[in-house]
Structure 1
Amino acid sequence: MSLAQTILPFIGGRSHRPQADEVDEIFDPADKSTLAVVPRCSPEDVDAAVRSADHAFRTSWRSTTPSQRSAALLRIAQTIEDRTEQFALLESQDAGKPIAAARKEIAIAVDHLRFFAGAARTLQGAVAGEYLPGTTSMLRRDPIGVVGQIAPWNYPLLMAIWKCGPALAVGNTVVLKPAETTPLSTLLLAEVAAEFLPDGALNVVTGAAQTGEAVVAHPTVRMVSITGSTRAGRRVAEISASQLKHAHLELGGKAPSVIFDDIDPEVVAREVAGAAFYNAGQDCTAATRMIVHEAIYDDFIKALSSAASGYKMGSTAAESTTLGPVSNALQYERISGVLDRCPARIEKINGRSSEALNGYFIDPTILVGVEQQDEVVQNEIFGPVVTAQSFKTPEEALALANGTNYALASSVWTSNLDRALRFSRDLEFGCVWVNNHLSVTAEFPHGGGKDTGGGKDLSIGVLHEYTEARHIMFGSLGSQ
């Protein structure tokens, strides 16, 4: 796949040229140069993708064995790994990631796809047996059918893998829509996968909200899955509810880091800075709210400011760049608007100036003097911007941490084991890190509650979500 050309959606095992003339121009957010032009799929194109997926499901993929599906996913993973540099370059240019970070994310995507491949062969359930006299019960986990999926722009390839990996592993077929600003690595994934999957097993349609809604609303799509904003998730849930189809929603976050005074503030500041500013803060689990014990608050803010100043912004192709731009113009405008609306009492501590750069760069920023009801505390910013609050007691820290509508991720930093255990219980988030933040492993679920939705990605549990659990009971006709 070369850049600065028209890149087509992928339907039925091949590139597909939509009939409509609408296109999205794909930009490199680091310098605003044009990378490619991608057509928008119409509802008719989405219908072609769904019909292709349904045909592949009914004629081939649903009938494969777990070992055959596992082998296919492992071959896809190996090909991605073999072509790491190609994928990393697309991810770096398309999503504004420093090239070194892009390579690491490709490696993680490969690892997670290999996990899904292995998990395909180890699904578990109730043991077959006689649970009622004269009967034998067994549990089947069968694929659902065509799954419609919508992936976000912050981790284009990784989120595509989180979507299509488990769905394919259990025998479903997929119609996947990447974000309209970052479709390139997902289209390359479809091209790679076509070598090992039946035609139509993995289709990638391109476009904006209209295309996504067409996927979600299609009557042949039996399940939908989205990783994205709470607003987008509510819309998906609304459309899905009208057809009583299952909706897997993994949405926004506003992660607190609760930092006690029994740790070294400089050490923790360096760790938390990485969790706050990685990927320019465009991560729903990013450490966005610093809740710091008053005894070390000033020292911590000083250390965090110093850590923020250590990031190097610039060309994403440079190995030395450690902080890239935000992913697109709209996100740049949103973050800038949030910062402009801050009340005068909020002080903005900027770690480094991006004024000389041409792309969509945002200075790593610490907001102090915030109050709990402030927009910057309550709403997802999704950029390299964090807030800082102080607390006196553990009860106050918990109230501040839990006092938002999001419930995805959190962390507590302390050397006190009893306190760590208490906070791991009382922090109302799907993921609680202790003396860590942002690490993810494929073996454990990733997701939360409240406005984060209820969908859990990763772990063998997500494969269960992509199956229909069916109770099969055999009765006795008596002696023959």
Structure 2
Amino acid sequence: MTDLAVELDLPAAGPDEPNAIRIDSPLDGGLVGRVAKASRQDVAGAVATARGARALWAGAPAAERGAALRSAAAAIRDRAEDLARVNEAETGRPAADAKDGVLAGAGTLEQYAELGPVHRGRSLLGDPGATDLMVPEPRGVAAVLTPWNDPVAVACGLLGAALATGNTVVHKPSERCPHTGLLLGELITPYLPEGVLTCLAGDGEVGAWLAGSDGVDLIAHVGSTEAGRAIAGAAARTGAKVLLENGGNDPLLVDGDVDPAWAAEQAATGAFGNSGQICVAVERIYVHRALAGPFVEALTAEAERLGLLPLVDVPHREKVHGQVADAVAEGARLCAGGVVPEGPGARYPATVLADCAPGLAILREETFGPVAPVCVVDDFEAGLRAAGEDRYGLAATVLTRSMEHAQRAWRALPVGTVKVNAVFGGAPGGAAQPRGASGQGFGYGPELLDEMTTTKVVHVEPAP
């Protein structure tokens, strides 16, 4: 396979470069490309450059910042096919799905181009002879650390909000998709003043250097809980503001009054979409005993229809399969999938596990793969209790015909997002705060602009 770094004129690493990031195809195992890993000096230089550009960008009119984002969004739309192809080459995500993510990212930049200029403070009712204001100001330098599973859409959300509010940014995409992240940066930076956005390729070590820098004022991270907690620890030492969207272990609760075939379709969409590599994927299923038989049968048929699905790389497949094998060893019944295919690449079959006991690790930990573990519960109350007993708190889905059950569920479940009768979907502009091990702070929507800014109170009165 062609070396993408060379083809795209990105900072490629030579074959003997000791600190190169090498990407092998999750589809056929061939070389995708080698990217030079940023050094500690590169990180320090990028942060210093961003600090030097702060005053210029913060002082630019909000409408001017919005215009820059609209131009960047247009450039991304023009290169959507290229971004999708690179995304597929690095992570295995089918190009059509990857393009949807690219276009969603462009749309998000356009959204923040419009929202940025109307983000506002407040006037306060003090002494009539004085003026009192609450004014939002950019925080300064934002370190943005983004994941591989939807690299353009997620990055555009954080970059768009940070830039629209006048912050300068150092962006480190995941080391599993550095070509995608670097190409995205190449498309955005021409529309910004020098130093406003810098993109660095690197692994967790580079991310730690960036998060621990004294010159960073805000850290926005989407990724694993372990990395997020390390980032929070670093920020506690530097005083940086932290936004975290981290791991999830989202439950799906299937009530006893719904159509089991429809419920299985919903479960398959939630568990197998993007090969289960979605932050809000269905990770554990609690089904009413009255529906368990036909539900598992229908879900098994959905998994067998999908067959092999691409995972991001072989180490990730080993992690996913390890959780499946452990569950089977502890008594879960394998209904579909669960076998590592022969040959190169990192594909894994859509997998259904039935008869999962409540204490299984696969029900407690995020799998992030195409695995649907099913636990049978005696009634809705038991399912609701089990769904809520978890250290993660990202999202949850409830399938029920009972409005009473729906109302009780969304009030009781300790998560940032509750979806009733649809595993995905929702009105535009919503913004949720994850709970527990899933992170903290608004990560999208208009409220993200508040997170990206800090508020100054101003009191002005005439001199005597």
TM-score by length of 2: 0.94
What corresponds to 1:203 in structure 2? Answer: 198
What corresponds to 2:19 in structure 1? Answer: 22
2:341 aligned to which of 355, 375, 385: 355
Q: What does 1:450-469 align with in structure 2 at a 5 Å threshold?
A: 450-469=436-455
State the alpha-carbon separation in 2 of the partners of residues 476 and 9 from structure 1: 58
What corresponds to 1:118 in structure 2? Answer: 114
Question: Which deviations, in whole Å up to 9, do the C-alpha atoms of 1:205-241 show, x marking residues without a partner?
Answer: 1111110111111111111111111110110001110
What corresponds to 2:315 in structure 1? Answer: 330
What corresponds to 1:407 in structure 2? Answer: 393
Q: What does 1:71-220 align with in structure 2 at a 5 Å threshold?
A: 71-126=67-122, 128-131=123-126, 135-220=130-215
AA aligned to 1:339 is V
Contact 1:7 1:37 in 2 (8 A): no
Provide the secondary structure at the position in 1 that maps to 2:124: coil
AA aligned to 1:378 is R
State the alpha-carbon separation in 2 of the partners of residues 218 and 8 from structure 1: 30
Contact 2:13 2:20 in 1 (8 A): no
Question: Which deviations, in whole Å up to 9, do the C-alpha atoms of 1:274-308 show, x marking residues without a partner?
Answer: 11111111112101111111111111111111111
Question: Which deviations, in whole Å up to 9, do the C-alpha atoms of 1:411-464 show, x marking residues without a partner?
Answer: 111122222122111111100011111336551114410000113211111111
State the alpha-carbon separation in 1 of the partners of residues 9 and 197 from structure 2: 11
* Alpha-carbon distance change, 240 to 73 in structure 1, aligned in 2, over 3 angstroms: same
Contact 1:27 1:33 in 2 (8 A): yes
AA aligned to 1:50 is V
Question: Which deviations, in whole Å up to 9, do the C-alpha atoms of 1:168-197 show, x marking residues without a partner?
Answer: 110101101111111112111111112211
1:34 pairs with 2:31: yes
State the alpha-carbon separation in 1 of the partners of residues 333 and 13 from structure 2: 51
Give structure 1 stretches of 5+ with no counterpart.
314-322
State the alpha-carbon separation in 2 of the partners of residues 396 and 423 from structure 1: 12
AA aligned to 2:277 is Q
* Alpha-carbon distance change, 364 to 376 in structure 1, aligned in 2, over 3 angstroms: same
Q: What does 1:221-370 align with in structure 2 at a 5 Å threshold?
A: 221-311=216-306, 313=308, 323=309, 325-342=310-327, 343-351=329-337, 355-370=341-356
Farther off after superposition, 344-353 or 298-307: 344-353
* Alpha-carbon distance change, 151 to 216 in structure 1, aligned in 2, over 3 angstroms: same
CA RMSD, aligned part only? 2.2
Superposition deviation, residue 409 in structure 1: 0.5
Count of aligned pairs: 461
What corresponds to 1:416 in structure 2? Answer: 402
AA aligned to 2:316 is Q
Provide the secondary structure at the position in 2 that maps to 1:341: helix
Superposition deviation, residue 393 in structure 1: 2.6
Provide the secondary structure at the position in 2 that maps to 1:180: coil
State the alpha-carbon separation in 2 of the partners of residues 192 and 449 from structure 1: 34
Contact 1:4 1:34 in 2 (8 A): no
AA aligned to 1:174 is V
AA aligned to 1:209 is G
Farther off after superposition, 297-306 or 357-366: 357-366
Superposition deviation, residue 107 in structure 1: 1.8
* Alpha-carbon distance change, 225 to 61 in structure 1, aligned in 2, over 3 angstroms: same
AA aligned to 2:151 is P
Give structure 2 stretches of 5+ with no counterpart.
none
* Alpha-carbon distance change, 389 to 351 in structure 1, aligned in 2, over 3 angstroms: same
State the alpha-carbon separation in 1 of the partners of residues 393 and 155 from structure 2: 23
Superposition deviation, residue 71 in structure 1: 0.9
Contact 1:258 1:411 in 2 (8 A): yes
Contact 1:412 1:435 in 2 (8 A): yes
Contact 1:149 1:225 in 2 (8 A): yes
Question: Which deviations, in whole Å up to 9, do the C-alpha atoms of 1:9-44 show, x marking residues without a partner?
Answer: 98xxxx6999x8410111221111111101111110
Provide the secondary structure at the position in 2 that maps to 1:280: helix
* Alpha-carbon distance change, 154 to 346 in structure 1, aligned in 2, over 3 angstroms: same
Contact 1:9 1:206 in 2 (8 A): no
Contact 2:12 2:35 in 1 (8 A): no
State the alpha-carbon separation in 2 of the partners of residues 77 and 271 from structure 1: 32
Superposition deviation, residue 358 in structure 1: 2.5
State the alpha-carbon separation in 1 of the partners of residues 442 and 9 from structure 2: 28
What corresponds to 2:357 in structure 1? Answer: 371
AA aligned to 2:203 is A
* Alpha-carbon distance change, 441 to 221 in structure 1, aligned in 2, over 3 angstroms: farther
State the alpha-carbon separation in 2 of the partners of residues 4 and 17 from structure 1: 11
AA aligned to 1:329 is V
* Alpha-carbon distance change, 334 to 197 in structure 1, aligned in 2, over 3 angstroms: same
Question: Which deviations, in whole Å up to 9, do the C-alpha atoms of 1:357-409 show, x marking residues without a partner?
Answer: 52111211112222222110001111111211122233211111011100001
AA aligned to 2:321 is S
AA aligned to 2:385 is A
What corresponds to 1:316 in structure 2? Answer: none
Contact 2:87 2:180 in 1 (8 A): yes
1:43 pairs with 2:40: yes
State the alpha-carbon separation in 2 of the partners of residues 259 and 447 from structure 1: 24
TM-score by length of 1: 0.91
Q: Alignment identity in percent?
A: 29
AA aligned to 1:211 is V
State the alpha-carbon separation in 1 of the partners of residues 124 and 194 from structure 2: 39
Farther off after superposition, 32-41 or 417-426: 417-426
State the alpha-carbon separation in 2 of the partners of residues 198 and 275 from structure 1: 41
Superposition deviation, residue 149 in structure 1: 1.4
Provide the secondary structure at the position in 1 that maps to 2:347: coil
Farther off after superposition, 362-371 or 225-234: 362-371
Provide the secondary structure at the position in 2 that maps to 1:362: strand
What corresponds to 1:320 in structure 2? Answer: none
Superposition deviation, residue 312 in structure 1: 5.0
